Structure 1
Amino acid sequence: MEKAKVYFTDFRTKPFGDGLPAKLKKLIKEAGIGQIDMDGKFAAIKLHFGELGNISYLRPNYARAVADVVKELGGKPFLTDCNTMYPGHRKNALEHLECAWENGFTALTVGCPILIGDGLKGTDDILVPVSGCEYVKEAKIGRTIMDADVFISLTHFKGHEMTGFGGAIKNIGMGCGSRAGKTEQHSSGKAQIDETLCRGCLACMKQCANNGLSFEEENKKMRVNTDNCVGCGRCLGACNFDAIAFDFNAAVELLNCRMAEYTKAVLDNRPHFHISLVVDVSPNCDCHGENDVPILPNIGMFASFDPLALDQACVDACLKATPLPGSQLADNMELPGFIDHHDHFTNARPESEWRTCLAHAEKICLGTRAYELITVK
């Protein structure tokens, strides 16, 4: 496979010149987004709206720049993300939209509608067959995302406590999974019910197709039938009271492989384009309700038709950067007995692992890790 083209521009701007949104527009146009037939097409722009309390997520101005270019090309853009697996401020569409609004994402600020990809409760998904994969036969993807004619990822490239970093593949594969899809990727276990939160409403039982739940009439509480529960996660979206949970117990290597295969399900058989901004590189995911200081300096904006080459280019640029003093990464490197992994993301979170994700993505022909970096001034 020939090298993929990855386009890059830094965050430098000139006084009284164009700002960063204009620079992002120039980048994606140079990278060839105009090659996609957008005329009259619905274009999903997938990004993370940030958890409440976190302020390292991408600013709405960047989303507006991408939406504006799509509209210039005749497309009909919308911003989207799917609901979270865990309790928080983004576990259903109502709270998710309120969180997005509080973080500055509105139709007025971004210039296009905002739609939650897997519906009100995170149960509006579609089973998408995945060809040539080992771990996922049918991915559970938010229906709205699969209904789009064109798919665009806009990613905040940052650290992650499990997968080392969160790049395009994580933004797509994990982010586009419904609540059940996220459960499939994260968990190899079965549902758990907190009786103190269970209301006995039976809503979860209606979603279970495997007799994995049983209702105790005596105390009006739901129980998990562990012999029958297959860990599909359908019950998770049905509960409005956060009484059902799954452990994040999948091995990181397995999580990485499933994530890559979910990404393939989202992208196969339709036009797609990918953008990553290496800025405010926090050590943890934007799903956290807080953010630590960046571990690395702001590097720049990247764009490509190949999400794997894009992730490889971003991580390569990060590994060449100098850690920022006073960050979690710098603190770790000063600890007695510190073992240098020669990898900023592993040094920041030694329990994390990212290489299996890129290796598996290449194995299943999601893209190539070989790339040509083209700088846009």
Structure 2
Amino acid sequence: MSNQKPVPGTGGDHYIPYEQRSGKESVVYFTRDLSAEGLRKIYARISGCLTGKVGIKLHTGEPHGPNIIPRPWVEELIRKELPEAAIVETNTYYDGGRYTTEDHRETLKTNGWTFCPVDIMDEDGTTALPVKGGKWFAELEMGKNILNYDSLFVLTHFKGHSKGGFGGSNKNIGIGCADGRIGKARIHTTPGSDDQWDISDEEFMERMTESAKAVADHFGEHISYINVMRNMSVSCDCEGTAAEPVVTPNVGILASLDILAVDQASVDLVYAMKEEEHHALVERIESRHGLRQLTYMKELHMGNDRYHLIDIDNGDQEISPADGVKNLAPFQSAE
């Protein structure tokens, strides 16, 4: 295990304003249109890199989870844009409705994910993907069937998370592609420990991010990301019906070819809200040191934390985060 200490100024409880960041800028697309049509519209902006056999990494949720991306949106997107694609998932590390493949398939039926193939990628075992430049892993175990796909479309419900602070694209593939027994255990638990969740906050962020890097590197230029900022409970979809009530306003949908940029922009939009609107989600993010996900992605050269924010609802108008993403307020749901 590494004895490295966090880089000064990158603590996961410390939000770094846009003007204090440096480096290149990526493109992030934004729409306020929280609907099936809005999802299709923004998907078109980042779909060109998806070739061959496409997997859709989607958090399908615990039974009857109230906050997951609406099934009809995904069904329409797949039917009209990705008719040959499959949703890809892995079994969970915790005991619940998706712990075994058999239970997982029952939960998929319960939640209505029956309109296209769903590949539980670790059903038949694991494969180890290399982690380039990691300090915790040289390789990490993923669901074996990840090797069957040429491209990955990461479709994420952005929300809080009890362990990660927030769950964006980084969490979706970092945890969601690791297999349920080996890969997830290596991210969450010190070898030999009796405590399933004993990895400390910032170390956990780094381990999860190294896993995400392995997935992103595996697909190279054939991976793209969407974050749906709707029904943002402080709880993850893995908590199902036990999730905390939603108190954060809906925002819209963001898309990018850059995993760091799309997660950073999503976090920036949360921090741009009024105190009474974002206090619960910000408290969840900072108390878990979740912002370390962002700084560690940057250290691993996974993307840029500066970006051009393109408002596709208004003729591709560029909104400068340096001038304050509050320019997007008031946040309105188009549902």
Aligned alpha-carbon RMSD (Å): 2.0
Give the Cα separation in 2 of the matches to 1:248 and 1:321: 32
Could you tell me how far 1:70 is from its partner in structure 2?
A: 4.2
Question: Would the alpha carbon gap of residues 345 and 264 (structure 1) be closer, same or farther in structure 2, given more than 3 Å must change?
Answer: same
After superposition, where does 1:129-208 map in structure 2 within 5 Å?
129-179=130-180, 180-190=182-192, 192=194
Equivalence for 1:320: 272
Q: Check 1:292–1:153 CA distance in 2 against 1; reply closer, same or farther (3 A cut).
A: same
**1:263 counterpart residue number:** 212
Q: Do structure 1's residue 355 and structure 2's residue 294 form an aligned pair?
A: no
Question: 1:67–1:252: structure 2 CA closer, same or farther, 3 Å change rule?
Answer: same
Which structure would you say has the larger Rg?
1
Matched to 1:116, the amino acid is I
Q: Which secondary structure does the structure 2 equivalent of 1:165 belong to?
A: strand
Counterpart of 1:6 in structure 2 is: 28
Q: Structure 2 length as normaliser, TM-score?
A: 0.80
Deviation per residue, 1:192-249 (Å, 9 max, x gap) = 5xxxxxxxxxxxxxxxxxxxxxxxxxxxxxxxxxxxxxxxxxxxxxxxxxxxxx5200
> How many aligned positions are there?
287
Residues 58-137 of structure 1 aligned to structure 2 (within 5 Å): 58-68=69-79, 70-71=81-82, 76-107=84-115, 112-119=116-123, 124-137=125-138
Deviation at residue 351 of structure 1 after TM alignment: 3.2
Q: Give the CA deviation at 1:359.
A: 0.7
Q: 1:323 to 1:144 in 2, by over 3 A?
A: farther
Aligned-pair CA distance for 1:37:
5.3
Q: Deviations over 1:309-331 (max 9, x none)?
A: 00000011111123667xxx76x
TM-score by length of 1: 0.72
Q: Distance in 1 between matches of 2:50 and 2:165?
A: 35
Q: How far off is 1:53 after superposition?
A: 4.3
Find the aligned partners of 1:77 and 1:166 in 2 and give their Cα distance: 24
Contact 2:254–2:266 (CA<8 Å) still a contact in 1? yes
Q: Is the 8 A contact 1:346 1:352 kept in 2?
A: no
What's the CA shift string for 1:286-307, capped at 9, x where partnerless?
Answer: 1113222213101000111111
- Whole-Å separation in 2 of the counterparts to 1:54 and 1:155: 15
**Aligned letter for 2:138?**
K
Q: Post-superposition shift, 1:368?
A: 1.0
- Cα deviations by residue, 1:173-206 (Å, 9 ceiling, x for unpaired): 01110021111101114265xxxxxxxxxxxxxx
For residue 287 of structure 2, give the secondary structure of its aligned residue in structure 1: coil
Cα 1:37–1:28 shift into 2, 3 Å: closer
Percent identity of paired positions between Structure 1 and Structure 2: 30
Q: SS of the residue aligned with 1:182?
A: helix
Which portions of structure 1, spanning 4 or more consecutive aligned residues, are displaced by more than 4 angstroms?
Answer: none
User: What is the aligned partner in structure 1 of residue 61 from structure 2?
Assistant: 50
| Conserved? CA contact 1:51–1:99, under 8 Å | yes
Residue correspondence of structure 1 range 273-288 to structure 2 within 5 A: 273-288=224-239
Among residues 232, 250, 258, which one is paired with 1:298 in the alignment?
250
Q: Cα 1:37–1:361, aligned 2, differ >3 Å: closer, same or farther?
A: closer
Q: Which runs of 5+ in 2 are unaligned?
A: 1-22, 314-335
Does the residue aligned with 1:268 lie in a helix, a strand or coil? helix
Could you tell me how far 1:356 is from its partner in structure 2?
A: 1.3
CA distance, structure 1, for counterparts of residue 80 and residue 261 of structure 2: 23
Deviations 1:90-115 (A, max 9, x none): 011111111111012112xxxx2111
CA deviation string 1:98-148 (max 9, x = no partner): 1111012112xxxx211111116xxx1101111122111111111112321
Tell me the secondary structure at the aligned position of residue 62 of structure 2: coil
- Matched to 2:228, the amino acid is L
Alignment check: 8 A CA contact 2:233 2:281 kept:
no
Q: 1:4 to 1:281 in 2, by over 3 A?
A: same
Partner of 1:235: none
CA distance in structure 2 between the partners assigned to 1:79 and 1:67 by the alignment: 10
* d(CA) in 1 for partners of 2:285, 2:29: 28
Contact 1:162/1:351 (<8 A) preserved: no
Residues 1:36 and 2:38 aligned together: no
How far is the alpha carbon of 1:345 from its aligned partner? 3.1
**1:323-365 deviations in Å (ceiling 9; x for gaps):** 667xxx76xxxxxxxxxxxxx5342466311121111111111
